[in-house]
Amino acid sequence: MSGNKAIAERILSVLRPYASNWSGTLSRGDLVIPQAEVPRLIREIANAAQEIVERHGEAGDLEVFQTLMTLRGSPSIQDQVTELKKRLLILTR
């Protein structure tokens, strides 16, 4: 499971109890979160993302260099980016 997908699944599991009853599904994006629960929910989401990042670890210079050198022969920059995302966990900030 890719890093982004793992993070998304973990966050969805935190949010599922707050899915609104009338929609019946979390995928529509309808949530009912009591105001008192918001700080706890934010902590849980931040912890879930941090656990996934720590589990994958940070790529070292050598690993990044070897991956980039391997991908140099790709026909396009878009292909290189796609392959980098498959091989390394890249988080946007």
Q: For the chain, how long is the longest CA-to-CA vector? A: 53
Question: Per residue of the chain (93 residues), what is the pLDDT tens digit?
Answer: 455 677 778 888 888 888 776 555 556 667 788 889 899 999 988 888 777 777 767 777 888 888 888 888 888 888 888 888 888 777 666
DSSP 15-82: HGGGB-TTT--STT--B---GGGHHHHHHHHHHHHHHHHHHH-PPPHHHHHHHHHHHTTSSSHHHHHH
Q: What is the pLDDT of residue 27?
A: 60
Q: What is the pLDDT of residue 47?
A: 86
Q: What is the pLDDT of residue 39?
A: 92
